[in-house]
Structure formats: C-alpha cells, structure tokens
A and B are shown apart, each in its own frame.
Chain A
Amino acid sequence: MSDQKIYDMPHAKAWCPGCGNYGIHRSLKEVLADLDIPPQRLVMVSGIGQAAKLPQYTKAHMFNGLHGRSLPAAMAIKACNPGMTVIVTSGDGCTYGEGGNHFLAQIQRNPDITNIVHNNMVYGLTKGQASPTSLKGMRTKVQTLGVMNEPFNPLAVAIAMGATFVARVYQGDREQTKEVFKAAIEHRGYALVDVFQECVAMNKVNTSQWYKDNTYRLEGHDPTDRTEAFRRASEEGRYPTGIFYREEGRPTFEDTLPLYHESKEPLYTRSMDVDRVRKLLDSVRSV
C-alpha cells in the first residue's frame, strides 16, 4: 500500500468549495494507493467539464481530450498498452450527452478500463443548464419551463448494452465509494461507476441532503443476475447504490486483437518488421 500523496499535484484546484469532486478525488487517490498503482503505470483520461479536470490534479499520465470524447481515447490507450491502468473521469454531460454514442460503442467492445462518471445532474461549467440525467421539472436558465426530457438512466443502458461491470455510488458515502472504485479498477473489462455528487453552485435540487434522503445501499443483491440488475437499475424515487452487475471472464477488446496473441508487448516497444511487409507486398504481385 502506497501513500496517496504520491498522486498529488502542486496546482490549486478550480473547483468550488464544497464540490463533490473533492470527495471523489480523495476516494480515488486512496484506492489507487491501496492498490499500489504507481503514477507511471496509470493513465488518467478525461473530456471537458469540471469533473474532467480531475486528471489535471492527479499525478499520472494524462490525456485530457475533448468534450464527450474521453471513452474512444481511453479505449485506444488501453489497446496500445494493455499493461497500463486506464481510468476515465468525466461528468454526466460529457459522458452521456456529448459522448453518448461513444458510451454505447465502447461498452460493446469491453475494453479493460474504468469509467468514473461524476453525475451531478446538471451542467456545472456552463453554469447550470440541464444535463441528460437532470430530473424532470428542474428549472434552469434554459429549461425555463422545467426539464421535459426523461432522465437518462446510465445503469439500465449499460446493463442493456452488455457492460461487464455496472455500479452506482454517492460520493458522500466514502466507504462504499472506495469499495466500489476498487472493485471497478480490479475488474477485467469495462467498468462503469456512476457517481452521484452534489453541484453546490448550480444544482439546488439534488443537494447533499437530497442524496442522503434519496439513496440507499443495495443489500442482498446478486450482481451476476442481469435481469435483476436491470430491474434494480430501473428503480426511481429512491436510488439504490452499489454494484448492480458484474460479469467476469468476458474477453476484453485487447484480448481480441491478434497482435497480442503472439506477444504481450505494448506497441511502442515494437518496430516494423520489414520482412512481413515485404511478404505482403509479394502477395499483391497478382490478383
């Protein structure tokens, strides 16, 4: 077990005082230390938004890409060097809104990455518009008549799409958050952790108190039962937290790549084999 301080960066954080991001960050660093993952073996990937700044404050390799595009980048990163631990942290707008297609498509591939989604049910950095997960009726400067859309249910979608690890936590429940983060990182395959968090500046509906009142821990649930997982993920009103679904042993995207069948070496260590390319050239000497 390492000291979580090894992941600290010197910079001041651009998060509001009381933001749920602090709790998520602390829980994640503790789990990383607990798992003894050195910064040199860790790639933090994000899109854009306040949540997406978490890699900026975490000592590791970093790919802070475009809004909505964190998952394709993460999938490619893992495919190029399966020995790395790859963790994506971005918000609900980034992951489920702008990145919706990427969310679906990466689940289908089952890359061995951990996808932590900071879900505060609002757009924070753009100052308070509805997000895909905003609950109906919430009024904002844009949704002046209240949110009309059905809220996006990431867990039900992920389970339907065949995700191999699907969980939800509330960041204020530090104990469960750490436990689930740890299981997600240790899971071999795509792991989604939807993290309820408060946005103290922009979401006056889903406050810390609201999360405490409207969440409860999943107890006695069998996470290998997909039908039951889907049913529990569909619950509204009071939201269960914990691991909804877990399936071990499914091949990852990296497992399916022929180039890792002959060698486990990451791509950067390999060089072009001129004889193989020459052989291929010879194959186009006729039709």
Chain B
Amino acid sequence: MQDVSIVMCGAAGQGIQTVEQLLVGIFKDAGYNVFATKEYESRVRGGSNSTELRVAKERRAALVDRMDIFIPFDQAAVSHEVHRISGDTLVIADKDSFPADGPADLPSPAVLLPFKEKALEVGNRLYTNVVAAGAVTGLFGVDPEIGEAIIRRKFSAKGEDLVRENIQALHAGNDLGSSLREKGHRFEVKCTKGVADELLLNGNQAIALGALAGGCDFISAYPMSPSTGVLEFLSQHQKDVPIVVDQAEDEIAAINKAVAAWFMGARAIVSTSGGGFDLMTEGLSMAGIMESPLVIHLAQRPGPATGLPTRTAQEDLNLAMYAGHGEFCRLVFAPGTITQAFDLTRKAFDIADRLQIPVFVLTDQDFVDSYYNIPDLDLSATPQDHFIETSEGYRRYELTEDGLSPRGVPGHGDGLVRLDSDEHDEHGHITEDLRHMRPAMVEKRLHHRRILMEEFLEPPTLQPGEAKNYVICWGSNHNVVKEAVELLDNKDLAMMHFHQVHPLHADVRELLSAAERTVLIENNATGQFADVLKLQADHHVPEADRHLRYSGRPWSVEEVVSVLRKEGF
C-alpha cells in the first residue's frame, strides 16, 4: 500500500489538532508525502471533530472516504465515522476509554491499546493523544526520534518537563505501534527523496505568504472562521517582516482602513468570510469609485447569515462578483492548490496596484484548513510599486487614453493626492457635471476591464491536455477532481479547472464550444459557476450534468469518481 489514510476523531479539546500537527510533521520530516484536512464543529469543547492524514508515496492532496487506520477517542467518534469503517479498516482504540470489548458498532473488533495507561505512566492523562500518535509512527516503522525536534520546537517555551514527557509519551506509543507491526499490521509507504526539506503549509499560510511576497505591509481584519489564519500568521510574524497589523473593530472598518492604506502607498489586504464580507461591500464600492487597489481574501463557508461557521462551501462567487453598488471593475481568483494560492495572492497585489482595482482571492474552509508538502514557492518576482512621484498640479483622476491615471501617494512629491467617494473631477473634487465629467469618469472606471481582459487573464488548467470531455471545477475542488480523473485514467476525460473565475479568459468560449461533453462539480446549490460559464462564455452545462454539493462537507475522491462513473467516464 503506497497511500495510507489515517483518521483520528474525538471531542473538541481532546487535542486532535495537536496530534494532527505532530504526525504530519513527523511523516513529512521522515520523507513521506503528507496531506491533512480537518472537519470540526463550531464549539470549543465536546462534539466530534476529526482529522484525516494521508501518508503517500505520490503527492496526494484530497480527502478520501477510505480509512486505513481509524483511531476514535470516544464512542461518539465511532458513530461520527461509522459509515467510513470497512472490514479493511484497522481500528485502534484506547482500552480504558471504552468497555472491555472495545467500541461498539464495528464490523470487526478494534485493536485495544493502553494509550491512557502509558500516558499516566509518563505523568499525565493529557498525553493520551501523543501516545496514540506515537503508535501510528510505530505502525509505519518511523523512528520516533524524528518527532523529538518537533516536540522541542512546540513545547520548549513551556518548560523542559513538558518536552521530556511528550517525548516519552511518543516513544511509549511508538513501542505499542511497533509491536502491532510485528504482529502483521504493517504499513509500508516509500519515502521520497527531498520531501523532508519541502515546505509544509495550509491554505491560509499560503495566502499570507503570498501576500508578503506581493509586498503586503498592512492587514486589517476582524476574526471570522475560516479566514482568521491569515491575520494570525501575519500577526505572529510582524517582527520578522515589517507589516502593520490591526484587528479591526468590524469588517466595515477593516476595508476602510485597507483602502486608506493603499492611498498612503501601503499594500493592504483584508481577510474575511461571507458575513464579514457583506459588511465590506460599502467599502468595496468606495474602492471602485476611488480607483483604489485592494486585495480581498474571502474564505467561504456555508450561509446564509451565520450558516455553518466551520464548514465549507463555494456559495459566495456571486457575492464576490456582484457585491457593491454602482459599476466598476474587479478580478476574482480562486486558487486550487497551495502553490496557486501563494502565486495568485502575490499576483493579486501586482494587478490591483497596476490596474487600481479590487482583486479577490476566493477560498473556502476546506482549502484554508488543509495542508500538505510542496517543493518550494517562487520568490523571484519582486513586487514593483506602481505609483509616481507627483508634481504640483497633479490630478489623481487625470483622463488618459487607457483610463488609468498615474497614482500618486501623499508625501511623495509636490502634488496633492485627493480621493473622493463622491463623483469627482480629474482633481478628485466633488462634481455634479452630468454632461461631461460623470460619463467620462464612469467610462474611465470601466476601461480598466478592457486592460484586464487584454493583459491579465489566464486560461483554465486542462489536465490531461488532450481530451474532448471535461469535468469543470473551480477553486478548492482542483485536487479532488484531479485525483479522481487520474484514477479513472480515461484518455477522453480531462479536468478543466478555473483559478480565475471572473472575468473569464477569452479563450474559454472557444475551448468549451469544441468540447463534446462537460460535467460540472461545485459546492453550491444553484450552480453559480455554471451561470458564469453561460453568461461569459455562452456555454450551457445541462442541469443533469451539474453535480452540486451544499451539505457543508467537501467532496471525497471516491465521491467524485462515482459521479464521473455514473456520467459514463
């Protein structure tokens, strides 16, 4: 077996995420390709949260239903995942957390191990999950010493005792796993050279790093799942890379601060989710009339209103495309991979700056919370500032042939930079000149769209390149669809993944008109991207070929395979 899926499930507060991090770190440092994704309830304690790890020879970065190893921390965890347990699943449970015959409702009995007992021997029952993590490393024959450095990094600030006990717990668990391995529960996955030196990051970190690579030096955001990771990461590193970090009083303030920061020559990002972005729409509209650059990270979760705060969806494409009153131009990116998240966020700053428009990076909970190793990220494109040194008589909204007025920054040169949320003349002065100035300014603002279409749009990814049938997806569904298409290995079928969802590249129309069949996979109930294809590329995906998921869960590889098989591929 070269691709092992490990699922751990327990109540919030039982340390599932600590174990996930520890295990992902150990496997990656040991040279395995790793992927981890979690699903959790909107609560701090209790309930059932789970995390899935994939340890594989090849790069794997999508959820699978299959569980090769399942570790439930309580009976509720078994009920939570029971539909995924098969006769091939190795279920390992702590012998003291269940009745003598182990967890109920299993197709075959669980292997019971003394996780808690070993934890108590080390000194505290809180180490139970670390013992369990150690057992997993033992099943793979991984040297637990690899985990020591990680434990040291994570816990050294909390004292040498804690470090020592965690290491002891990991070793104790490893011994338990090793003895199981000797009894035949062997998991053999080939290591890959170089993986240990690769990067390991989740979607939120990729967005934050992409922002920094794009020259971001200002973030203002109000915490909201699942977007908060960007604010946290940038705040944690504000001493490493100079950046103004402000936890705004609300999202309205956040976006107004961001636009004002761009006005001053900074490069600002806001990071939010649906409800928070609703509050930002007024400020977005202001960015439109002010012709301000702006980068918006919008991490989707199911709505309407509070909806499902910790679950995933692709329901806010229409919101990103149409939010804000009045007419102005914008660009919406929807990265499908960690590398794309980094590259597109970096690029978002450049395009926002050059075209003086808002650029969205549209992600979702599944995307921002999942992480895996990637070879490296490209830092070669150093950000360029696209503003000028002004001289006296400078006009911020000078009417030019291409609609772009050179952007000045207060303090840089002798000119005065005057931005107005009212309709304005070339100087930025409020105007009601309906005969000349108003139409000229409207046309100027929409002119940016032409430049965007001509110079900045990218076509979708086709994989494999030669096929006549396409499964269309966008944003976070990239990895799961790609893996499903690879598994089907049908030379007539390719994935068509859109990482730029609005506006669409001009070639899309032609590409789709040449297609024999298209099916579509997206995570909303109304087929929002199907509508985009109709509107912008005159391509109709029949209702029957739209596979829409709106439960709040991401797609698994098996589910996509099953959908595509039913479609005849």
Contacts and interface: CB of A to CB of B under 8 A. Distances in A.
A279 B260 contact: no
B13 interface: no
A284 B205 contact: yes
A270 B377 CA distance: 23
B150 A287 contact: yes
A182 B125 CA distance: 64
B303 to A, nearest CB: 23
A48 B420 CA distance: 10
B240 A271 contact: no
Contact of B385 (A39, A75, A105, A268): A268
A259 B200 contact: no
A273 B241 contact: yes
Interface centre among A73, A83, A271, A276 (most CB of B within 10 A): A73
Given A84-B411, A267-B264, A279-B240, A272 B253 contact: no
B241 A62 contact: no
Contacts of A23: none
Contacts of B173: none
A11 interface: yes
Contacts of B265: 80-81, 266-269
Interface in B212-229: 212-215, 217-218, 220
A268 B256 CA distance: 18
Nearest to B205: A284
A102 B249 contact: yes
Interface in B259-306: 259-261, 263-266, 268, 282-283, 286
Interface stretch (B23-31, B112-120, B435-443, B543-551): B23-31
Given A266-B264, A268-B265, A280 B209 contact: yes
A272 B383 contact: yes
B200 A56 contact: no
Interface stretch (B329-337, B422-430, B447-455, B493-501): B422-430
A284 B209 contact: yes
B305 to A, nearest CB: 20
A63 B260 contact: yes
B414 A105 contact: no
Given A101-B249, A105-B253, A286-B200, A258 B238 contact: yes
Nearest to B212: A277
A61 B416 contact: yes
A233 interface: no
B417 A280 contact: no
Interface string A253-287: 00001110011001111111110111111001111
B63 interface: no
Interface stretch (A64-72, A144-152, A157-165, A239-247): A64-72
Nearest to B342: A281
A285 B198 contact: yes
A41 B411 contact: yes
Interface string A31-52: 0000000011101010010000
Given A77-B263, A285-B197, A53 B430 contact: yes
A122 B178 CA distance: 78
B256 A284 contact: no
A115 to B, nearest CB: 15
A207 B125 CA distance: 74
Contacts of A277: 209, 212-213, 241, 379
Nearest to B239: A258
Nearest to B430: A56
A74 B260 contact: yes
Q: Chain B: interface secondary structure?
A: mixed
Contacts of B244: 76, 79-80, 257, 259, 267
B62 interface: no
Contact of A280 (B241, B252, B258, B429): B241
B248 interface: yes
Contacts of A75: 246, 257
A60 interface: yes
Contacts of A40: 410-411, 414, 416
Contacts of B214: 272
A49 to B, nearest CB: 12
A56 B418 CA distance: 9
B125 to A, nearest CB: 24
Given A77-B263, A80-B244, A268-B387, A39 B416 contact: yes
A35 to B, nearest CB: 17
Interface centre among A56, A75, A272 (most CB of B within 10 A): A272
Interface in B371-405: 376-377, 379, 382-383, 385, 387
Contacts of B218: 76, 79-80, 267
A200 interface: no
A285 B254 CA distance: 31
Contacts of A59: 416
A43 to B, nearest CB: 6
Interface string A198-220: 00000000000000000000000
Contact of A271 (B24, B197, B383): B383
A65 B254 CA distance: 14
B195 to A, nearest CB: 10
Contacts of B238: 258-259
A66 B421 contact: yes
Given A60-B416, A69-B253, A276-B240, A48 B213 contact: no
Contact of A79 (B198, B246, B259, B383): B246
Interface centre among B261, B264, B283, B286 (most CB of A within 10 A): B264
A45 B244 CA distance: 20
Contact of A64 (B259, B283, B382, B430): B430
Interface centre among A77, A104, A286 (most CB of B within 10 A): A286
A287 B25 CA distance: 5
B181 interface: no
Contacts of B256: 65-66, 69, 72-73, 76
B411 A268 contact: yes
Contacts of A73: 256-257, 259-260, 263
Contact of B410 (A74, A81, A273, A279): A81
A83 B212 contact: no
B22 interface: yes
Given A76-B257, A272-B383, A284 B428 contact: no
Given A79-B246, A272-B212, 11 more contacts: A39-B416, A41-B411, A61-B418, A62-B418, A69-B282, A268-B412, A274-B379, A281-B376, A281-B377, A285-B197, A286-B25
25 contacts: A56-B430, A64-B430, A65-B256, A65-B421, A66-B256, A66-B282, A69-B282, A72-B254, A73-B260, A76-B257, A79-B244, A80-B244, A80-B260, A102-B249, A102-B252, A267-B244, A268-B412, A272-B382, A273-B242, A274-B379, A274-B382, A278-B379, A286-B25, A286-B28, A287-B28
Per CB-CB distance, the 9 closest pairs between chain A and chain B, nearest first, are A268-B265, A105-B249, A287-B25, A259-B242, A80-B264, A76-B257, A73-B260, A72-B253, A61-B410
Interface of B: 21-22, 24-25, 28-29, 149-150, 153-154, 197-201, 205, 209, 212-215, 217-218, 220, 237-244, 246, 248-250, 252-254, 256-261, 263-266, 268, 282-283, 286, 376-377, 379, 382-383, 385, 387, 409-412, 414, 416-422, 428-430
